[in-house]
Amino acid sequence: MRTTVYSMFVVAGLAACHGHDDAKPAPKAGKAKLEHTSQTDLARELDDADRRGTWSDVRYRWQGQDLEWTVTRYRTLCGSEKRCNVAAFPVMRPAQRGWLPGVQFAPGEYAKLDAACGAAERCEITIDGTLSKLDVSGEMPTSVQLSNVKIKSAKQRT
Amino acid sequence: MKNGNTFLYNTGPVDAISSQYLNVTQTYDLWKIDEHTGHRTRLMQDAWVAPWNVGKRSFPNYESVALQAVRSAGTTQSFAGPRDEPFFVDLHVFDLLGVGGAHTTDGVNVMSIVLEVPITDIAAGGARPSSATDKSSVVGIYASASRPQLRILRKSHNSDDYGKMIQVSRLGWPLVNEVLIPLKDKDKYNRSEPRDDVSNFGAYILDPEVPKLLNLVLNAGCAATPAGGRTDIVGLLSPNGTAAADLLRINIAAGQTNAQSHFPNGRALADDVTDTLLTVACNNGSAIGDGVNANDKPFTTTFPYLASPASGNP
């Protein structure tokens, strides 16, 4: 009896997964480069995925993309090479989404950031890097990780 | 349950937690788990949970019975059971911020778990740091609740629980979960861990909804969120350069006193955390509050410190 119950749950679980999150098979060729890769584009797709349940599709298409984003570096949230999150959006009063991308710098780039931003608590920086990890689902919080990040420009803000 | 042939919670006057007349009893085990090593130590087994304060006929002296649920294991003390709700707040804040001094938690009981452990048990390396500015002098605490992954309701016999325990709620700072995290992310917040708070929810802390609502609904004159965001709140959540997270922080360096240990450095039971948080959120240089400034019952000076729960038949 217990086996039957388990089996029913497995089937129901598979059906639910298929219905809500249409996982795509691995591509035969390389992944297509997205035309629009701003943080606003990503946010729009994530909002859409929340409505349609297409999280794995968004994850599949965005993970591995090379990006150039202008973001805000706060010293309190990005005070070391090992612990760095940046704000992808300006202050909106209030925030529309909670995630702050985590940043892994290419060698030497954090030092470049630190030198350019000096002691400023807030610094507007343009970076390029790879969206190496996008955790997105209906169950767990959205989390964005950028890797091999290089500093293109940095402007101190007061 | 000692006697299932009656509807009575107690079958006679109860004068001890081991009384034969205490018909329904609960027990718990207390485990200490080292998150780094995974080492588990059972500190208590089958410890009594204090009974519900049904009324004066069942409990001529309720508190003397309830306090028998205080247990010790070495230098750790533990209590589980009903207590007077220690959080004093005007909950009308959730009705379009309708705060006005309503004592909405007076007379309310809550099932409580109270632990008292030596400071050295939670200090890095087992000793209180000598410097109060050192990162290791700050500890972060949160509580979470978990439930079995799967419950099968059965028609013919009792329900079965299966699977690993799944976290369904957590709290660190008061009101972060309640008013900083928007509804769409609340379940996700409850499932996640504090160490990921900045990555997952940092923008809500930098750019909170509360001051805007206070102005919109109450014309409270709160400062607009600065273009640079609320780094002051981030700072409060990351004392001494610790990683920002929704953790209740307290500085445990040698020489720190009770007088220094008030919210947001710790949270003494009598601290008016709602006023502190509203003032921080509003950020206009003036103190604001909900008009409820103290608990309805005094806290006690001895463990478990929380006041006796209200009686069902006083």
Instruction: Work out the angle between the directed axes of helices B273-282 and B210-218 (0-180°, nearest 10).
Output: 90
Distance (Å) from the C-alpha of residue A36 to the closest C-alpha of chain B? 23
How sure is the predictor about A13, in pLDDT bands with cuts at 50, 70 and 90? very low
Do A88 and A129 contact (CB within 8 A), yes or no? no
The beta-carbon neighbor of A95 closest among B191, B203, B224 is B203
3-state secondary structure chain B: CCCCCCCCCECCCCCCCCCCCECCCCEEEEEEECCCCCCEEEEEEEEECCCCCCCCCCCCCHHHHHHHHCEEECCEEEEEEEEECCCCCCHHHHCCCCCCCCCCCCCCEEEEEEEECCHHHHCHHHCCCCCCCCHHHEEEECEEEEEEEEEECCCCCCCEEEEEEEEEEEECCCCHHHHHCCHHHHHHHHHCCHHHHHHHHHHHHHCCCHHHHHHHHHCCCCCCCCCCCCHHHHHHCCHHHCCCCCCEEEECCCCCCHHHCCCCCCCCCCCCHHHHHHHHHHCCCCCCCCCCCCCCCCCCCCCCCCCCCCCCCC
Greatest alpha-carbon pair distance for chain B in Å reads: 67
What's the number of CA atoms in the CB half-sphere (13 Å) around residue B205?
28
Mean per-residue pLDDT, A54-70? 96
Provide the edge-to-edge strand list for the sheet that holds B76-84: B71-73, B76-84, B109-116
| pLDDT average, residue stretch A130-144 | 95
E strand map for A30-93: 66-78, 84-87
pLDDT band at A25 (very low <50, low <70, confident <90, very high): very low
Contact A94 B204 (CB under 8 A): yes
- What six digits make up the tokens of B40? 């588990």
User: Residue A5: pLDDT above 60?
Assistant: no
Mean confidence (pLDDT) of chain A: 85
Q: What is the pLDDT of residue A26?
A: 44
What local confidence, expressed as pLDDT, does residue A134 receive? 97
Q: For residue B202, list chain A residues with Cβ-Cβ distance below 8 A.
A: 77, 85, 87, 98-100
Cβ-based contacts of B189 with chain A (< 8 Å) = 141
**pLDDT of B73-128, one tens digit each?**
999 999 999 999 999 999 998 898 888 899 999 999 999 999 999 999 999 889 99
For chain B, what are the domain ranges? 1-84, 96-108+126-282
The Cα–Cα gap between B54 and B62 comes to 9
Indicate the pLDDT class of residue A6, thresholds 50, 70 and 90. very low
Q: Looking at beta carbons, which pairs linking A62-66 to residues 24 or more positions away fall under 8 Å?
A: A62/A34, A62/A37, A62/A131, A62/A134, A63/A131, A63/A132, A63/A133, A63/A134, A64/A31, A64/A130, A64/A131, A64/A132, A65/A31, A65/A33, A65/A34, A65/A37, A65/A130, A65/A131, A66/A33, A66/A37, A66/A128, A66/A129, A66/A130, A66/A131
Chain segment B186-197, per-residue pLDDT in tens: 999 999 999 999
Mutation target vs B (from A39, A50, A93, A146; most B CBs, 10 A cutoff): A93
Contact A141 B200 (CB under 8 A): yes
Residues of chain B with pLDDT under 50: none
Q: Which of B288, B289, B307 is nearest to B297 (CA)?
A: B307
Predicted local confidence at residue B32, as pLDDT: 94
User: What are the chain B neighbours of A157 within 8 Å (beta carbons)?
Assistant: 227-228
Backbone phi and psi for residue A62, each to the nearest 5 degrees, phi listed first? -90, -30
pLDDT of residue B90: 95
**Alpha-carbon distances, residue B17 vs B4, B111, B257 (angstroms):** 19, 17, 36
How many Å from the N-terminal Cα to the C-terminal Cα in chain B? 25
Cα dihedral A61, A62, A65, A70 in deg (nearest 10): 150
Residues of B in contact with A94 (CB under 8 A): 204, 207-209, 212, 225
How much of chain A, in percent, has pLDDT values that exceed 90?
75
Strand partners, B22: B10
**CB-neighbour burial class of residue B301 (10 A; exposed 0-12, middle 13-18, buried 19+):** exposed
The confidence score (pLDDT) of residue A30 equals 67
Q: Name all domains of chain A by residue range, CATH numbers in brackets.
A: 2-20+34-157 (2.40.50)
The interface pTM score, or ipTM, of the predicted complex is 0.85
Q: Is the N-terminal amide bond of B264 cis, ω within 30° of 0? A: yes
Q: How confident is the model at residue A29 (pLDDT cuts 50, 70, 90)?
A: low
